[in-house]
Every structure is written in C-alpha cells, then in structure tokens.
Structure 1
Amino acid sequence: MSHQLHEPLHDLVAEVPSYVAPDARAAWSAGARRRTRRRVGVAGLVVLLVLAASAGIGLLPHRASVPPVDQPGGGVDGHPSRIDYPYWTRDLPERPGPVAGVLERVSHAGTADQPLGWFAVSPTGNLWHLPGSNNNFTPAISPDGTRLAYLDTRPGRWFEIRDLREGSTTSIDIGDNPDSREPWLLRGQSPLFWSPDSSRLLAPVYAAKHNRQRGVDALVLDDRGATEVRRPRTREAVMPVGWVSDSSLAWLVWHETKGTVDAARVQVTDDHGRLQRTVRLDVGRGVGDLSQWAGVVSPDGRTLALGATAQEHRTAVHFYDLTTGRLRSTMPGVPDAAGVCLPSWGDGTLQVPTENSLRDTVLRSINGSTTILADPRLGAGCSLWATDALDGPAHAGLGGTIFGDSTSWLSWHWREIAAGAAGGLALLGLLVGLRRLRRRARLSG
C-alpha cells in the first residue's frame, strides 16, 4: 500500500506545475550577482587578512636576537623613512648587525620631560633599548653603523664600545660619579666624535679627584687603548668639532662680545693635541652665540657647519672652508632644531635632528626636506645617525609604502585599525558559525 502511494507522490513532486514559467535571464542575473558578491567578499577578506597579519607582526615583540647584516664592507645599508611606535621593545642584542642610528625617547609627564633612555634604530625602523642609557650622556654611532659607544650607568658598568657585528664589548674606565674609582669622568652634555674610518673615538673627559693627571681634556679610544689629549691652551672658549682626517682633530676656538661671536678659528691638532695648523674663520655678526653643540666637521674634513643647533640669536647655518676659513654658504636654520644634539652628515648634506617630541619629524635636511618621520607617540628627542645609513637608500616598510610621507592620524594608527578589524571579522565569523549550528540542531530535532 505504501509503495502504491509513493509512486504518485514522487511523480507529483518531480513534475513542474504548469503555472511556473522559468525566467532564464533573471536566474542568470541573480546567480551572477551572488558570484560577484562572493568574489568581492573573498578579495576583501584576503586584503584584510594581509593587513591584519602585517599589523600583527608590528604589534608583536621583536626577536631577542637578530643575525648580523652581511653587507659589502660590513656597513649599514640604509635608514628608515618612518619609525612606527613599538608596543614592545627589547634590549639591544649582542649581534644586531650595523644600525642606522640612536634615538632618545622622552615622555611628557605633566610639565617636565622624563627621559626614557636611548634606543638603537635598525635600517628598517626597529628599536632596541640601550640598557643603562637613561642618563644625561649622549651616545655615539660610528659612520658605518657598526660600532656604538655610550656610558652604561648600571652598577658595575662603565663606558662601553660595542662592536655590533662581532658582538664584542670593550669597557673603559670612564665613569660619571666624581667619588667613584674610575680615573676619568665623562663630560656631561658633550658630544662624542668618531673618526671617518670608524676606528677611533674622541671622548671629552676630565680627571677624577684621585687622578693626578691634570690637564687632560679628552681621550682618543681605539683597539690599542686610550690616548690622552690636551686641547689648545687659550683663555677663549674652545670645543672639539670632529676629525679633519683619521689622525687629526679639529677644535673650534671663539671669542664673544655681549653674547655675539666676533672672532673664531679652527685649530687642527694631532691625536695628542699638538698643534698642526690654525684656520681663521671669516665670521660676521650673524653667527650668534655658540656652544659645544654648535659645530661639526664634514666626513671629508673640508667643511665646518656652524650654527645648526637651536640657540638664541641664531637664525642661519654657516658653512666654512677648513682650508681657507672663508664662508662658503649660509642657509636658513631648521625649525625646531634640537638645542643639545649633534647634526649628522649624509646624502651629501647636513642633516639636523629636531626636538619636536609631539610631532612627526625626527631628522630634517638643511635644505628643508624631511629625511625621517616617527610616530608622535614615540616622544622622540635627540637622534644621531650613521653617515653610511643616510647615504644609503630609505627603507619605507609597509606603512611607508601605503602612506608615503603622510603624517595623518591614520598613517600612524593603521596597524591597530587592521588588528581591530581582523578581530571583529573573527568574532563575526564565530557568531555566524554558532548560528548555523543552532539552526541545524533545530532542523534535525
């Protein structure tokens, strides 16, 4: 009986009613729309997943150790065009390979700037903290980016020179406490100068109380040890401004009248401070006041840039020929130039660090163009850069590739947005899956 009823019912269901008129064009259009929506959805999902993965890589902490960069000559291969905010930072590993520079981070707590210490910057914009660097002493990065020198003020540590390729560290008896046992004390708020070949470092020091070797003004540090240097003796102000060659030092000597420089000269000495020659500079009334941060010699030793840092009564940067002392050119000063930070040479011109911790520009060329941007949340203060890094290509990274030189809010927060969108998409997928499981459970029941 059941078999007899089954056949008519089967025929009734299979047979298309006569009142149904199939519309092939409408069916095709509906199917095409569904396929288009599906393709767009899949493409959007892929793009979102790529952005989320990139954001996740940026949000995750960097590896504790990074293999050394293997470049021809061993030097650094470029600099970042943008530095993103690091959500986690690690201490600088023993062998990170050459770095592009060092950057000071400052937090703005209330009205006073609180230093967070110094960070090494990789050619692609990664940051590593320099342990023990939260002090008032400025580090120094060699022109090829392979050697880093700074005062480590942790207990039991001293002034250190790190070889970033080999992973070796040389500790030197230079401290910061007048009552300590170190024979030499590093001068605070004074720049350090690497020789052009990255082999020797000039460090301004003075003798500790128990050290009887008076009259020493600096040490030249290299693989053979430390050489004592006595600056030219004069009643006028005198400060080191760099190296004229791998074996000759340059000292800026100047005289001021009512806060204005009316005479200046450069005295070139050997690495012990013995005078070799004197170059009188053709200074005018527009130089303004000078300090230990006022001048820096070019890598080829031919030019002195004077007045690049921010000081009162200074509105221009003067470039002097160190052979004749003549003024080569004068250029407008860089807005927001850091007042206590040495300019860097690179890309054929002078690069001036800015002291605008709540803005975006970290390094700006003397010609006005921006060289390196950084997320304002970094609170970037002073920054020092390797010459080879600035001579090399700019590494944009994913953020720079997408946003270029934009400093919009989105350009600095796209990683969080992508990560949030990926999390929202994952949550939506979970809810849809649970809803389908419940529907199937109801139908089966």
Structure 2
Amino acid sequence: MTLKYINNQLSINGHDVKTIAEQYGTPLFIYDENMIREQCRRFHNALQHSGLKYSISYASKAFTSIQLFNIMQEENMGLDVVSEGELYAALQSKIDASTIHFHGNNKTDREIEFAILSGVEYFVIDSIEEISRINTIASTLNTVVNAILRINPGVEAHTHEFIQTGQEDSKFGLSIKHGLAIQGIHALQNAPFINFRGVHFHIGSQIFESTGTIRTIELVIEWLVNENISIDILNIGGGFSIRYTEDDLQYPIEDGIRNITETLKSECRKFNYALPEISLEPGRSIVGEAGITVYEVGTVKEIPHTNCYISIDGGMSDHIRTALYNAKYELLLVNRNEKSDKTVTIAGKLCESGDIIARNTKLPSSVSRGDLLVVKSTGAYHYSMSSNYNQMLKPSVVFVSNENIREVIKRQTLEHLFANEVI
C-alpha cells in the first residue's frame, strides 16, 4: 500500500486521506485497489512458474463485497464461500458460479439446495453425515454434484488457538489419525449423486512460512498412496500471513509457493502418484494489508502516571480483532506529520472495558479532539466481522486506485438498523 505524507497530509495512492474522510465520513474503510490486484497476480505468477495445473479461490469471509468480487473475476480468481449470504453476494457479481466452492462445517439443507441450483463448482464436505444429506438433496434435484473432502491432518500451525484448524481437536475436517477421513472418502465413493474429486486441508491462519504446509503435503500424499486413493484436486487452503506491525512476518508468496509446489511434485514422483491440481484459498493475504480504517478522535483522557486514553468514533463494532485475539496494530496521524513520541491506548466508544483498538502504541503528543487516525492493515476480518452492537452503524467502504475513488459499500443509516423491526 502506498501510504505516505504529501504536504504534511497522509495520502493513499496520491489521494489525500483527510479529503476522502471528509467526503464519506468516519469511521471509514479505505482499500488500495491496486494492491488487491497485485496480490492476486503474485499468487498467479508463483503458481504459473510451478508448471502445475492450479486454481486460486479468494476466501470471501475475509471481506465480502460485490465490487471486490468483480475485481476477483477480472483477476481470474474463483471464490470460497461458507454461507448462503456469501453465495448470494457472489451471484450478484460478475463471478461465474462454476468457479465457486461451498465450505462450512454445518451446511443447512437450504444452503445445499441453493448451492446446487446455483451451479457451484464443488462442495467442501466437512462431516460424514453431510455426505448422505448432499447425496439425497442432489438425487431429488436429479443432478450429480462435485465434492472434495476436508481432512484433518493433525498438524498444528504456530498461531492463535482460535485460528488453528488443523490440529486433532478441531470442529473442522475429518481426522486421518482416527480413521474418519478414509471412512468419509469411502462414503463419497459410494454416493451415486456425488462425484468425489479430491481432498482439502487448512492448518490455520497467519502462517508466516511454508514448513507446516510442506509437512502436511508429505503426510497427505503418503496417506493417499497407502490407502490407494486417487484424487484430481489437492486444496491446501490459505492462511498466509500479513504484516500488522513491523514485528510481523509477511508470508513470502513467491518462495513459499515454490517450496510447496516443489514438495508436491517431489512427493508424487517419490510414490509414482499422479499429480493433482493444486488449489489455494488466500483471503487475508489478498485484502488484509490493502485496507485501512480512518477514525476521528474524540475524548482524550489523561490518567496521571497511569495511561492516556484516546477515544475514537468507532470501536469493537468495526474492529473486533484486538478484543478477540489481542491483535496488534500500527496507527498514523492523518492530518499532520509529527514524531510519534507518546505512548497511548486507543479506545473505542462502545460500552465495554475491552473495547480497545491498540494498547501501548506510539502517537504524537499533540493528538487532540477532531484529529484523524488511520489504523493500518484492517482489510481482512474487520468489515466482515462488524456488528451493530450498541446500535453502531456499519461504516462506508471506499476503493482507491491511482485513477479514482469510488464508494463500494454505503454507510448504514439509522433507518437500516430498524428495517426488520415489527412495530
């Protein structure tokens, strides 16, 4: 992202952030459209160099937007969706349904039917009982659907416990170790209205290197060989890390993908196993660093010899990750460029002591009411996890490129909050 000060004012892609905030109000999400496209292309280029057949599906849970999905279509990305809402949003965009796959550990019958009728590419099956339900619904619709099975490899990623997904004790996938994965494959092979295409795994999020994925590929290929199971698709999920602060490691896309694809090729050669198509599901790594949030400063509260609380006009309703994961962020003052010389706590305006955006962060000592602050790297799991707690209004979302600024999601109004109330 091109964030820099021009004439003492913070800018994004050459556009003045203060001017954008004045036009669309705060809190406000701003995305660098150029960076979103560049991240898509980096994944494509890395996989093209591998020589493997591949597909990339944007994990829409990171941030769902019809205009974002249009960009994904333009960048030759498919979609991974996990609910009827995400699928419905995708169908309103330019995305072809045949490039969408449907995830979820508890798909409802209505969602399954909706996905089949929409013509999704395949289901990612997450439990054994789901197989019979999908088979039954497909039979009533007189169609055969494609599916891959989410397996649990028993590999733990070194990340926050809430975003680990590959360990044995997880709500996701079917365990290899306990025999559930092979049981699921056999059930799929015996389901007349399901075409078994392959397997899926995802070991966690904010993964900063390829070691865990490499180990999982080795484990999975050897397991498939031993069980005499052929697959067309190996979906390795996503979870590639981004930089929230200077201390964080950004996933090395080019080197990481090369290590992963070379491992897959060598393992298949080792066992004389047919090379499957490799599929990825990046989400955070596509949009995370491309997004910022702009807030206006309100109350500044000094507690002598204790802390300084700077309160902003949003909070955990649009920035839940600090409260949920103790995630850390970097902030910048928008409307002037001064040295960050004071340690402060950035607090939200919601009625919770835990409504904190950043603890022990550095900002200029001059920050006062009316100033604008930017929180960096809020493009993933911020708007998509936003809520109306305390009846807060969800912010506007703006895309910025070198050429233009465009609003892609309007700010909620008070009327929106009560549109579904029965009076």
| Fold in common (TM above 0.5) | no
Specify which structure has the higher proportion of strand: 1
TM-score grouping bracket, smaller chain normalisation = under 0.3
Structure of larger gyration radius: 1
Specify which structure has the higher proportion of helix: 2
Structure 2 length as normaliser, TM-score? 0.28
Structure 1 length as normaliser, TM-score? 0.27
Flag the structure with more relative contact order, 1 or 2, with Cα contacts below 8 A and sequence separation at least 6. Answer: 2
